[in-house]
Amino acid sequence: MEPDGTYEPGFVGIRFCQECNNMLYPKEDKENRILLYACRNCDYQQEADNSCIYVNKITHEVDELTQIIADVSQDPTLPRTEDHPCQKCGHKEAVFFQSHSARAEGPTTVGSRSL
C-alpha cells in the first residue's frame, strides 16, 4: 500500500475490518452492481477502490530453468545439427528446442544448446 492509501497496480492487499479487525472478503452488491469488501464477523462493509481481487504471478527459479535446459540436451526426439558450432566452446553438435515464457503474453523462445 502506498502512503496515500492506494495500492500499486498488480497488487492486491489484505484488508481488515475497522470494527473488529477481522479480514475483509470480496462481495458483490448485485443490486447496485459494485464490488464490496465485507467482514464475515460483523456487518461492516466498504466499497472496493479497485476491481482486481486476485493476482497470480508466476515466476520460475533460475535453478529450475537450468535443469530444463540440461534435460533438453538429453532428449533424443529433438532436432540436432552439426552446422552451428557453439560460440563459447566451439563444440559442433547442438540441439534445438522451444521454450515458452512463464507469462501468457510472453514470447516463445527458440534456442539451441551445444552438446
Annotated binding residues for Zn(2+), written as ranges, equal 17, 20, 39, 42, 86, 89
C-alpha cell at 30: 448485485
Distance CA 40, CA 85 (A): 64
Task: Kindly report the number of other CB atoms within 10 A of residue 17's CB atom.
Answer: 19
* Residues annotated in a binding site: 17, 20, 39, 42, 86, 89
Phi, psi for 68 (deg, rounded to 5): -60, -45
